Every structure is written in C-alpha cells, then in structure tokens.
Amino acid sequence: MQRDLIGYGKEVPKIEWPGGARIAVSLVVNYEEGSEYSTLDGDDHHETNGEVPSPVPAQDRDLNNESFFEYGSRVGVWRLMDMFQRHGVKSTFFSCALALERNPAVAREITAQGHEVCGHGYRWEEYHLKDIDAEREAIAKTVASLERTTGERPVGWFTRYGPSLNTRDLVADEGGFIYDSAGLNDDLPYYVETRGNPWLVVPYSMETNDARFWRGGLVSVSDFYEYLKETFDCLYEEGANHPKMMSVGLHCRIAGRPARSRAVEKFLRYTKNFSGVWFARRDEIARWWLEHYPPGKLQA
C-alpha cells in the first residue's frame, strides 16, 4: 500500500469505453443493513454512525438507530432497485454478507436484476482494525456467504473506511478477485503492485456519495443533485478527448428515502439526455480495462 502522488499526471491516457462512450458511470449501492455494530450480535457497543447523534449509552441497544437502519432493508433497497429498472441501468452492490443472509429476498433480487455483488466484508466493520489472520478469515467467510445467498461469487472488494495494510495482498491471495476499490484518488482505473504482480484498482468516491447527508457536506436534496450533475458535466466534457469514470455512492437507508431518492432519479433522467454514457457495473469496467488496457499498454 505505497502512496502514489503522481498517478497519470499530465499524460492522461486516451482510452476508449464500449461504444465510444465519453464517460462510464458506476452506480454503487452499499448494502449494510443488519450487519452494523449491535449488542444483539455480541458487540460491546451499538452502531454510532446514524442519522443523528444518539444519547443512548454505547453498551445499550439503540432502538431508534436500529429502526433507522431497518428502513434501508425494508423499503430503501426496493425503491432504488425499482428506479434502476425503470431507467434500464445496472449497478454494483457493495454487499455485507451478514446483511444479505438476513434478507435473502434482496440477495436473490440483486443478481436476478443483473446487478453485481461486490465483497463489502462479512459485517460492516473496520477491517483496518483486524489482525492479518482475522482479516483473511473474514474475506474467505464473505466470499462463501455471498456465493451462497446470491449465487454469484464476488470479484471485487471494498470495506468500511478503506483497507488495512494487508487487505490488497489478502484479496489477491484469496483468488477469484480481479479488482478492488480501495482508492479514492483518480477518475480512471489504474494498476498497482501486490505480491509482485500488477493489480487493478477501480477507484471509488466519497464526495459523489450520499453519505454526505450524514456528515454535513450537503444539506438538501437539490444540493446532492447539483453536485452529481456538475461532476457529470465536467467529466463528460473532458471525456470528449479523454474519457473518464464517475462513481456514485448510495446507501439504502439514505438515498433510499423518498426525498433523497428524487435526487438520484433526477440525475438519471438528466444523464439519459446525453449520448456516449455507459452505465456499467464495476466488474464490467474492470474486465474491459484488463482486456483492453493490460499493464504496460496504456499510452497518453
């Protein structure tokens, strides 16, 4: 996990997406509900990353926060999937395995509708806090669970608050993975080295992400829409010469709420007015990149 402050730099590679698209839009749904911290699951504290700060003592059950998360699995996820169906777009589900074990109907529907299942850990917890053996075990457990509940083996990986120093090596060791999204540092996929071999990173974004409703970065639905729109407009314009990639991060308990879902709907309607837009699963982006731009082939 070496730092790279240079990246493609001034020599942005001139790549081609399928059909000559100017931009690849990656919709990501983080499915975490039911896998968050909970005293019911033996944790010594309840989940603290909720809609509002909680006065409930950490060691006690926080019923309001539990109910807030439940909205995502009961209602929000279906609203988002219905929206994607209406607009004919596919997404990637960053999937916590325990969450899908607890809602098998959602697990089956994700793949039935043609969305990608990406490993998001067995639970929604910080993998950078785990020792190497515990993290290795969690990765294997996640793969086995997701394959069982969804019928699809994940080929990508992304966990809460990013990777540990060991994550990339462990994912490569597991076998069957072709990319991770443990990078917030580019508008295009890129290669790093792990275990002495090139490894593909399909970068993600925390700023075109509905989590900003939690963190005070955005205060209204229109703000979120405008931010997505302006990001798209900039990357689409640049894509005339150097096609780019845009990630949109969503959560069922956040963007799955009625008002906030309208921002996503409005964004999809807006982008549908443009030609040369490729709505792609992250594994589709990864496979395209690996096939057309293997290590050493990119040219500015």
Has residue 297 got a pLDDT over 90? no
Q: What is the pLDDT of residues 83-107, one digit of tens each?
A: 999 999 999 999 999 999 999 999 9
DSSP secondary structure string, 64-94? Answer: HHHHHHHHIIIIIHHHHHHHHHHHT---EEE
Tokens 């990078």: give the residue.
Answer: 183
- pLDDT for res 219: 65
Identify the pLDDT of residue 300. Answer: 54
**pLDDT-based confidence at residue 251 (cuts at 50, 70, 90):** very high
pLDDT tops 60 at residue 14: yes
Tens digit of pLDDT for each residue in 131-188? 999 999 999 999 999 999 999 999 999 999 989 999 999 999 999 999 999 999 999 9
pLDDT digits (tens, 9 = 90+) for 252-270: 999 999 999 999 999 999 9
- For 64, residues 6+ apart whose C-beta sits below 8 A from its C-beta are 50, 54, 56
Q: What is the DSSP letter of 10?
A: T
Q: What is the pLDDT of residues 274-289, one digit of tens each?
A: 999 999 999 999 999 9
Give the DSSP letter of residue 115. Answer: P
Strand ranges for the chain from DSSP E: 23-31, 92-95, 116-119, 190-194, 197-201, 244-251, 277-279
Distance of CA 35 to the CA centre of its chain: 16
User: What was the pLDDT predicted at 216?
Assistant: 56
Average pLDDT of the segment spanning 268-273: 97
How far CA 24 is from CA of 55, 127, 143, 288, in Å, comes to 42, 29, 27, 11
Q: Which residues contact 85 (CB under 8 A, 6 or more apart)?
A: 113
Interval 32-70: pLDDT, tens: 999 999 999 999 999 988 777 789 999 999 999 999 999
23 three-state secondary structure: strand
Given a cut of 60, is residue 23 above it in pLDDT?
yes
Question: And the tokens for 4?
Answer: 């790279």
210 and 254 Cβ atoms separated by less than 8 Å: yes
Question: What is the identity of the amino acid at 201?
Answer: V
CA distances from 233 to 47, 83, 277 (A): 37, 22, 11
- What's the pTM value of the predicted model, to 2 decimals? 0.96
pLDDT digits (tens, 9 = 90+) for 186-244: 999 999 999 999 999 999 999 999 988 876 556 689 999 999 999 999 999 999 999 99
- In order of their start, the domains of the chain are 18-292 (3.20.20.370)
Q: What are the structure tokens assigned to 97, written together?
A: 């395995």
Rounded Cα distance, 148 and 296, in Å? 37
C-beta atoms surrounding 212 within 10 Å: 18
Give residue 215's identity as a one-letter amino acid code. R
How, if at all, do strands 23-31 and 277-279 pair?
A: parallel
What pLDDT is stored for residue 217 in this prediction?
57
